[in-house]
Amino acid sequence: MCRHLAWLGRPRSLADLVLEPPSSLLVQSWAPRRQRHGTINADGWGVGFWAPGHDGPVRWRSSRPMWGDPSFASVAPVLRSGCVVAAVRSATVGMPLEESAVAPFTDGRVLLSHNGRVARAALPPARTAESTVDSALLAALVFDRGLDTLGDVVREVGARDPAARLNLLAADGTRLLATTWGDTLSVLVTPDGTALASEPWDDDPAWSDVPDRHLVEVTPDGVSLTPLDRREPV
Ligand code: GLN
């Protein structure tokens, strides 16, 4: 399982967001606190964000562990954004190990990260994906159908592959959308903006856990949670 996070709010530096907190995404790459599947996230990492004066998101991705990227660490204090999606990866067995397989994926307008796994044969066909990794195929499906269908896509794919874990996290520059389907997600609302993260990056008691099988929408007006379905007894 990977770990991912997103921020919507007042612009802040990428260092402040993904490197500096005590249990930052950087720390989660070797010592996640709530990870249910896998122990470290060393198969690459990525961050995508919107920057003033540029149309659409930009990305910095790597197939190396996040702790092995000192060049990023040197520029991260001056990269600032009010809409960010970042992830560290623990590759699912059998999936490609390459930069193009690392989240966030994009169609040029939306960023999307997937924390989980899905049988690729269970996915409805979508236009060309960035990689053959399951997460990129799933992202391509969401891009084809539109961000507003995120919850429907997760329900449909979850029905086609009952063993799938489908925690998705997406942004379009003005809002965040996320799903919980088999893994953890927490939310932090602050006066400056809202964060979603696979696990809290510090011990602030204001973090709250999102229940499983929910759709989360974050806009400048607030956070809304919608159940995706009733959980089947196992
Ligand atoms: N299945 C995806 C991959 O192989 C995501 C893995 C994960 O969430 N750890 O990269």
Residue 74 exposed, middle or buried by CB count within 10 Å (0-12, 13-18, 19+): exposed
* Domain-located, residue 219: yes
83 is catalytic: no
Mutate to test the pocket of ligand 1, among 63, 113, 134, 161 (most ligand atoms within 8 A of CB): 134
CATH code of 76's domain: 3.60.20.10
Which pLDDT does position 115 carry in this prediction? 96
* Domain-located, residue 232: no
- pLDDT beneath 50, residues of the chain: 231-234
User: In ligand 1, which atom is closest to the CA atom of 38?
Assistant: 9
Predicted ipTM of the assembly: 0.96
Which pTM does this prediction carry? 0.95
Mutate to test the pocket of ligand 1, among 1, 2, 88 (most ligand atoms within 8 A of CB): 2
Q: Of 1, 2, 18, 153, which is the active-site residue?
A: 2
Judge whether 36 and 212 are in contact, CB under 8 Å: no
168: nearest Cα among 156, 153, 188, 190: 153
Structural domains in the chain (count):
1
* Domain-located, residue 233: no
> How far is Cα 7 from Cα 192, in angstroms, rounded to an integer?
10
Q: How many CB atoms lie within 10 A of CB 188?
A: 19
Q: Give the domain range for residue 127.
A: 3-227
Which pLDDT does position 230 carry in this prediction? 57
